[in-house]
């Protein structure tokens, strides 16, 4: 009786929890970044990681159940952090700094994500199948968040930087172009 009550409560409340978490994260990002496009840019790797996680679960024939579904709320909070770190570091250093950002901040993100995956991975050794399921979904999810945050977000940032430079080139006087090229070369090296 208690088990079925808990199961029905989780099934009923989980969608609201996910929605509330996503909206709260979106609101805090908007307050921090003050730009909806930038918030959406940071959310893109997380959204792709969650879709890939659902696809991976389907391929591996893992069922979404009330135990492992809780991991999705956790992934929202943990997974978004990688993008926030990369974007803040990139904004701090400016155009042309993406290789350095990936080397420095990417290394810290890798270590942080890996230790989180190790922590959740310990659940794989539990006797309870539900706990094993939480561990497996969390490890795969954090791994996917790591991969998408160091590939998808930097790729979009580079595209936006290239567009911005192309636009600036069209509208800038020629003497400023040479100065900007020299500054970008210094930052990239």
Give the model confidence (pLDDT) of 83-138 as tens digits. Answer: 999 999 998 888 888 899 999 999 999 999 999 999 999 999 999 988 999 999 99
pLDDT score of 186 more than 70: no
pLDDT of residue 50: 94
Band the pLDDT of 16: cuts 50, 70, 90. confident
**CA 23 remoteness from chain centre:** 15
User: How much is the mean pLDDT over the chain?
Assistant: 85
**Non-local CB neighbours of 12 within 8 Å, separated by 6+ positions:** none
Q: How far apart are CA 54 and CA 137, in angstroms?
A: 9
Is 14 or 159 the better-scoring residue by pLDDT? 159
Q: What is the mean pLDDT of residues 142-169?
A: 87
For the ranges 67-81, 111-125, 173-187, which has the lowest average pLDDT?
173-187
Cβ neighbours of 76 (radius 10 Å): 20
- Reported as a pLDDT band with limits 50, 70 and 90, residue 189 is very low
Contacts (Cβ under 8 Å, ≥6 apart) of 25 = 76, 77, 80
Q: Write the CATH number of the domain with boundaries 2-188.
A: 1.20.1640.10
Rounded CA-CA distance 51/175 in Å is 47
For the full predicted model, state whether its pTM sits above 0.75. Answer: yes
Give residue 65's pLDDT band: very low, low, confident or very high (50, 70, 90): confident
Which of the two residues, 142 and 11, has the higher pLDDT score? 142
């Amino acid at each position: 009786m208690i088990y079925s009550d808990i199961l029905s409560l989780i099934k009923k409340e989980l969608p609201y929890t996910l929605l509330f978490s996503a909206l709260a994260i979106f609101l805090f990002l908007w307050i921090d970044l003050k730009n909806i496009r930038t918030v959406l840019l940071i959310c893109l790797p997380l959204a792709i990681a969650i879709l890939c996680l659902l696809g991976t679960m389907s391929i591996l024939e893992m069922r979404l159940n009330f135990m492992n579904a809780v991991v999705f709320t956790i992934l929202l909070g943990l997974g978004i952090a990688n993008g926030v770190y990369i974007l803040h570091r990139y904004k701090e250093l400016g155009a042309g700094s993406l290789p350095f950002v990936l080397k420095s901040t990417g290394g810290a993100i890798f270590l942080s994500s890996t230790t989180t995956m190790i922590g959740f991975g310990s659940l794989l050794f539990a006797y309870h199948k539900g706990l094993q399921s939480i561990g497996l979904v969390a490890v795969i999810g954090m791994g996917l968040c790591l991969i998408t945050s160091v590939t998808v977000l930097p790729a979009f940032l580079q595209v936006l930087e290239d567009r911005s430079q192309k636009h600036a080139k069209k509208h800038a006087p020629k003497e400023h172009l040479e100065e900007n090229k020299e500054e970008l070369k210094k930052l990239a090296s």
